[in-house]
């Protein structure tokens, strides 16, 4: 990265987790110039993981999800503009135009526009009693309908869908999950782990239907009827659609920035315009660790990528390069995933998913490239270390449940 000045006018478009963290990180990196943070929602920046868990279940408040109270932004000389939508980016004039007619000049700009819930393209999807869950207001709307004895249909068995199912079941609702793939989390885990998730929810009383697709929906004030391609009709009081997310790249695309399933940026977050950066769910960044461009929707990426990009904008040279890490809490289980393996030649399972402390390691040429741990955060810490080092390990030791992963990790690094 070339030299940057710490008094540049910076505008951040997108006031979600990544945008809020970006503003904070810029101040911590030494930026003292004018700093504007623009977001379309009425809330200040907040974390999203609680939305489908604690906040959805009523165990936490809206304010507890905020990165900082509103007054923190003013005290940090950050002009937070919530309820403001950026409609045009003029790269030639270096100006961000807002829907209310205001225009914000910039020397440097950050796109943190996030992602929106993917639309299920079937007839009837826009009817009453059908929800998605992407933001605080979505979570509040769904929470108001979680009633013991009620019936919820969830379309999509990804992390969000399964977490919603677990939360609703815990609150006494009947729950049906409908998934087009043959098992839950099909894009993230191997089939044996996917089937474990299906069993987990079935054992909690959830009806899990896999390998079927919703073909149409009919809904009114009395409830929802979902028709699937196997001829079955599922009735529910409400339905939540959770079939993934789409990056909000429209503003960038209209400004002719490079876009490909996200705003394409390098390892420092820099886009095809040297003055514009992107972070969070909308960024498709080059990962030196993975050796390819990747778009990550995770707490880790929203929290850590802005720190690296802020330092780069202030003249730093260290790229953003981390082992991807995700987690989900469902019922009494914490499941963590690390790495982003495309290919592996063997899998090492320590224990089994139905026993405490299970670990599932993906290996390529004797090198751990990915891992899953169930209720075993301690071992995941050592697995992340091994994955980050990209060094060969003793597979016999790894297969031996009597050998501690801390010991194996230490041997691999010696």
Strands 151-155 and 174-179: parallel
Given pLDDT bands bounded at 50, 70 and 90, which one contains residue 412? Answer: low
Q: What is the pLDDT of residues 258-278, one digit of tens each?
A: 999 999 999 999 999 999 999
At residue 384, the 3 state secondary structure works out as helix
pTM, two decimals, is 0.94
Count CB-CB contacts under 10 A for residue 181: 17
pLDDT band at 2 (very low <50, low <70, confident <90, very high): very low
User: Could you tell me if 121 and 217 are in contact, meaning their C-beta atoms sit under 8 angstroms apart?
Assistant: no
The least confident of 5-9, 41-45, 172-176, 338-342 is: 338-342
Delimiting residues of CATH 3.50.50.60 domain(s) in the chain? 1-114+248-314, 117-245
Look up residue 119 and give its DSSP letter: P
Q: Where in the chain are all domains bearing CATH 3.30.390.30?
A: 332-412
Question: In sequence order, what E strands does 95-166 have?
Answer: 95-98, 103-105, 108-111, 115-117, 130-132, 151-155
Region 335-339: mean pLDDT is 94
Stretch 359-373: mean pLDDT: 93
CATH 3.50.50.60 matches 117-245: yes
Check whether domain 1-114+248-314 has CATH 3.50.50.60, yes or no: yes
Domain 332-412, architecture per CATH? 2-Layer Sandwich (3.30)
Task: Quick: pLDDT tens for 272-307.
Answer: 999 999 999 999 999 999 999 999 999 999 999 999
For the segment 227-238, what is each residue's pLDDT rounded down to a tens digit?
A: 999 999 999 999
pLDDT category at 343 given cuts 50, 70, 90 is confident
Decide if pLDDT at 3 tops 70: no
How would residue 401 be classed by pLDDT, with cut points 50, 70 and 90?
A: confident
């Amino acid at each position: 990265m070339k030299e940057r000045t710490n008094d540049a006018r910076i505008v951040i478009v997108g006031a979600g987790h990544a945008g809020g963290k970006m503003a904070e990180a810029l101040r911590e990196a030494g930026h003292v110039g004018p700093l504007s943070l623009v977001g379309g929602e009425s809330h200040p920046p907040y974390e999203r993981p609680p939305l489908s868990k604690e906040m959805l279940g009523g165990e936490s408040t809206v304010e507890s999800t905020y990165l900082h109270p509103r007054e923190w932004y003013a005290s940090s000389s950050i002009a937070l503009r919530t309820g403001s939508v950026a409609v045009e980016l003029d790269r030639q004039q270096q100006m961000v135009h807002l829907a209310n007619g205001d225009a914000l000049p910039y020397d440097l700009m950050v796109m943190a526009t996030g992602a929106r819930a993917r639309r299920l393209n079937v007839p009837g999807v826009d009817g009453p009693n059908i929800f998605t869950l992407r933001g605080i207001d979505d979570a509040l709307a769904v929470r108001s309908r979680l009633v013991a004895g009620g019936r919820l249909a969830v379309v999509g068995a990804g992390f969000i869908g399964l977490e919603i199912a677990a939360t609703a079941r815990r609150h006494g609702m009947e729950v049906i999950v409908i998934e087009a793939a043959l098992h839950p989390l099909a894009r993230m885990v191997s089939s044996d782990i996917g089937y474990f998730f299906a069993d987990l929810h079935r054992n909690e009383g959830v009806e899990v239907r896999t390998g079927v697709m919703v073909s149409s929906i009919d809904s009114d004030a009395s409830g929802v009827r979902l028709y699937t391609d196997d001829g079955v009709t599922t009735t529910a009081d409400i339905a939540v659609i959770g079939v993934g997310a789409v990056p909000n790249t429209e503003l960038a695309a209209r400004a002719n920035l490079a876009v490909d399933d996200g705003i394409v940026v390098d390892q420092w977050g820099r886009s095809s315009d040297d003055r514009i950066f992107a972070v969070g769910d909308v960024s498709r960044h080059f990962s030196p660790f993975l050796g390819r461009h990747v778009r990550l929707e995770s707490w880790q990426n929203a929290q850590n990528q802005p720190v690296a990009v802020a330092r780069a904008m202030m003249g730093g040279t260290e790229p953003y390069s981390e082992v991807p890490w995700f987690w989900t809490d469902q019922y009494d289980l914490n499941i963590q995933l690390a790495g982003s393996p495309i290919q592996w030649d063997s899998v090492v399972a320590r224990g089994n998913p139905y026993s405490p402390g299970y670990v599932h390691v993906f290996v390529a040429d004797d090198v751990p490239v990915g891992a899953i741990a169930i209720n075993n955060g301690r071992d995941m810490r050592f697995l992340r270390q091994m994955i980050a080092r990209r060094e060969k390990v003793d597979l016999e030791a790894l297969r031996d449940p009597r050998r501690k992963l801390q010991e194996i990790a230490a041997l691999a690094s010696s």
